[in-house]
Amino acid sequence: MAGAPPSWCAARPGQERRRCCAAAALVEETAAINEATGNDLPAYSAMALAGWRGRTAEAIELIEAIKRHAAARDEGMGLSIAHYTSAVLYNGLGRYEDALAAADQASAYPQELGFAN
């Protein structure tokens, strides 16, 4: 990984710190690959990491952008992943009704579930 780990990552203990740093490095690598190849793939990994980190503003911005992108391209799996990330974010924030609503949306179309949780 290039550079120092993000502060939110460095503050975590042991193995959790290593996993956070690895995830952040993969997000950066994905962005670099997309930029180098001209790929317009949405920032799924950045969205997921922001949701798990509880970075509300960043996560919501990415979730909404990915939902728009997925809807425009008729990509049900992208919508499902965005709703799943919303559920993770809201659950972590203690917004349980919002989390349940997002989880219901994420699992509404089982044929579009391309990931395991």
CB contact at 8 A, 112 and 106:
no
pTM for this model (two decimals): 0.77
The pLDDT tens digits along the chain (117 residues) read 344 444 555 555 677 777 777 878 888 888 888 889 988 888 898 999 999 888 999 999 999 999 999 999 888 889 999 999 999 999 999 999 999 999 999 988 777 776 654
CB atoms within 10 A of CB 98: 15
- Phi, psi at residue 109, to the nearest 5°? -125, 85
How far is Cα 116 from Cα 18, in angstroms, rounded to an integer? 22
Radius of gyration of the chain (CA): 15
pLDDT at 9: 56
Q: Tell me, what amino acid is at 9?
A: C
100-108: list long-range contacts, CB under 8 Å, 24+ apart: 105/79, 106/80, 106/81, 107/80
Q: Do 99 and 90 form a contact (C-beta atoms < 8 A)?
A: yes
